[in-house]
Amino acid sequence: MRISFSSSEQSSGTKVVVGAASSMRSEDAPAAGEQFFKYLKAKDLGQEVVLDMGALAPNVAAAFASGLLKASYTFNKYKTTPQKKSPQEITVTTSAPQEAEAAFAPLLSTMESAFWASDLVNEPANVLNPETYAERVKAELEPLGVKVRVIEADEMKKLGMNAALAVGQGSVTPPRMVVLEYDGTENNGVGSAQKQPLALVGKGITFDSGGISIKPSSGMENMTMDMGGSAAVAGAMRALAARGAKTHVVAVLALAENMPGSHATRPGDIVKSLSGKTVFIGNTDAEGRLVLADALAYVQKEYDPHTVVDLATLTGSAAAALGKEFAAAFTNDKCLMAKFNKAAAVSGEKVWQMPLEESKAAAAAVRNTPHADLTNNAGAPGALTAAAFLREFIEKNGDGSDKRKFMHLDIAGPGMPAGELKGWGVFLLDALVARFYEQKDAANQNAPKHACKCKSKNEPEF
């Protein structure tokens, strides 16, 4: 769907007069746009629609238009019959169309990345497997200036990524780690590639049958979406590169297909992870934390990031606690939580803090196993023990404290929505980087003057 802005009423198409628009606030406008698109679609007013919204301020018009666009997303590439008509072109009237166009351009760019991520999540698992997924990411991101390195299974073996390999060994398509690096800090001659990056890690289980600990058949078809965290991370990298963000970000997509089979990991197996820690695999359906463990270890060892953020459709308990509206946020740093709360408010993708360091019971439970260092099956509360397990793979200082700022987002609720747009997290991560991890200059008007009062000294001086 195309969106344009106009001050006149010369545009062709079905004209719709929208009342009470002048009182709309820009922060409410995207949601209003989404709702309004559903109305337009239901009314079936033809291919071209003009929204006469009076003298809507340009930034509000742009925000409203982004909501229209977001709601227009569909995934119908496998439909062989024509779908119900919806508007193909919408013109939004505003007092200053050129300013609205300018305000809309970055929103459109991020939206395109969210749509791309959503396509990945919507693809069925017979199309998107660890191999084809890695190929798609490479084909999309390399032309945008992102370095893409695919670590194949034989190299993963040499490196010692046995936790991730264990997850995929029942599948005919072996696991992959896709390593992405985008450094926009050299573009304007400020900073350097040596600066410590922000690291993003995403769970990419292209299909989760549960493995030998197989899931019930009801709802298993939704397990094609168990790669939503990695899609959000890849989508965010695309968004950053597409707009030339002045930042240094690395990412690891941990891709595997979790299937039963004669080669599959058995409940009770013990593996040595890349970090050196051994893991008792008590339940092969708790596979997300296994691929993430090796991805977390790798990204820290290889890139020395100041902050590590992971996104994963990890536990049913996170979805049970918070539903589809909030991601469960686990962090070892108050300031990082504050940054995410701010980014969530801006992006509309909401987070809610859960206990990480505070939960001594969860920390003890993941170590409570007789023959290995850790167990992947520490039981309830599932979201907390999963988070505690991941924290074990954050590198430590000499005094035992965490060496990195760490944020784990369990997106099992919002990452598997019933609606069309998926890839939850692209807007959140993009907003986070724009506000807190980019070099500031005249071209970056969105950046606040004071990024965060509690900024610690090992973060880049942007």
Per the CB < 8 A criterion, the answer to whether 110 and 426 are in contact is yes
Q: Where are the beta strands (DSSP E) in 42-128?
A: 48-52, 89-93
183 forms part of the interface with Zn ion (CB under 5 A): no
Q: Find the shortest distance in angstroms from Cβ 221 to Zn ion.
A: 14
For residue 210, the minimal CB distance to Zn ion (Å) is 5
CA distance 375 to 198: 28
289 catalytically annotated: yes
Per-residue tokens: 90: 């919408």
Binding to Zn ion (CB under 5 A): which residues in 99-158?
none
For Zn ion, the closer CB: 185 or 315: 315
User: Cβ closer to Zn ion: 176 or 404?
Assistant: 176
Of the candidate spans 116-124, 204-212, 246-254, 297-305, the one that interacts with Zn ion by CB under 5 A turns out to be 204-212
* Part in contact with Zn ion (CB under 5 A); list of ranges 61-69, 205-213, 271-279, 362-370: 205-213
Q: Cα dist. 142→57, 104, 109, 318 in Å? A: 37, 25, 17, 34
Alpha-carbon span 163 to 150, nearest angstrom: 17
| Least Cβ distance, residue 128 to Zn ion (angstroms) | 17
Burial of 118 (0-12, 13-18, 19+ CB in 10 A): buried
Q: Name the minimum Å distance from CB 16 to Zn ion.
A: 46
- Point out which span in 36-44, 63-71, 201-209, 264-272 binds Zn ion (CB under 5 A): 201-209
Residue with tokens 């953020």: 309
Which among 462, 412, 411, 406 has a CA at the least distance from the CA of 439? 462
Q: Cβ closer to Zn ion: 46 or 267?
A: 267
Residue 199 falls in which region: left (phi positive, over 0), alpha (psi -120 to 50) or beta: beta
Of the pair 170, 184, the CB lying nearest Zn ion is at 170
Looking at residue 207, the DSSP 8-state letter turns out to be E
The binder of Zn ion chosen from 208, 257, 333, 459 (CB under 5 A): 208
Q: Which lies closer to Zn ion via its Cβ, residue 131 or residue 287?
A: 287
- Tell me the C-alpha distance between 92 and 96, whole Å: 11
Alpha carbons 168 and 176: distance in angstroms, whole number: 9
CB of 288 to Zn ion, least distance (A): 6
Nearer to Zn ion, 197 or 202 (CB): 202
| Cβ at position 285, least distance to Zn ion in Å | 4
Q: How far is CA 47 from CA 2, 36, 66, 352, in A?
A: 10, 16, 18, 40
The one catalytic residue among 149, 215, 350, 440: 215
Q: Nearer to Zn ion by C-beta: 369 or 377?
A: 377
DSSP string for residues in 296-338 = HHHHHHHH--SEEEEEE---HHHHHHHTTTEEEEEES-HHHHH
Beta bridge pairs of residue 201 = 252, 310
- Of 269-298, which residues contact Zn ion (CB under 5 A)? 285, 287
Among the residue ranges 9-17, 135-143, 156-164, 207-215, the one whose residues contact Zn ion (CB under 5 A): 207-215
Whether 301 is catalytic? no
When the beta carbons of 208 and 438 are compared against Zn ion, the nearer one is 208
Residue the block writes with tokens 């100041």: 306
Distance of CA 353 to the CA centre of its chain: 17
Q: Which of 176, 195, 289, 391 is catalytic?
A: 289
Distance, CA of 77 to CA of 172 (rounded, Å) = 26
Per CB under 5 A, the segment of 57-65, 148-156, 202-210, 411-419 that binds Zn ion is 202-210
Q: Are strands 176-183 and 147-151 parallel, antiparallel or unpaired?
A: antiparallel
Q: Residue 72 Cβ, how far from Zn ion at the closest point, in Å?
A: 32
SS3 278: strand
Q: DSSP secondary-structure letter at 412?
A: T
**Residue 380 CB, nearest distance to Zn ion (Å)?**
16
Min dist. Cβ of residue 456 to Zn ion (A): 35
Using CA atoms, how far apart are residues 197 and 138, in angstroms rounded to an integer? 20
- Closer of 275 and 376 to Zn ion (Cβ): 376
Contacts with Zn ion by CB under 5 A: the residue count is 3
* Contacting positions for Zn ion (CB under 5 A): 208, 285, 287
List, by residue number, the catalytic residues: 215, 289
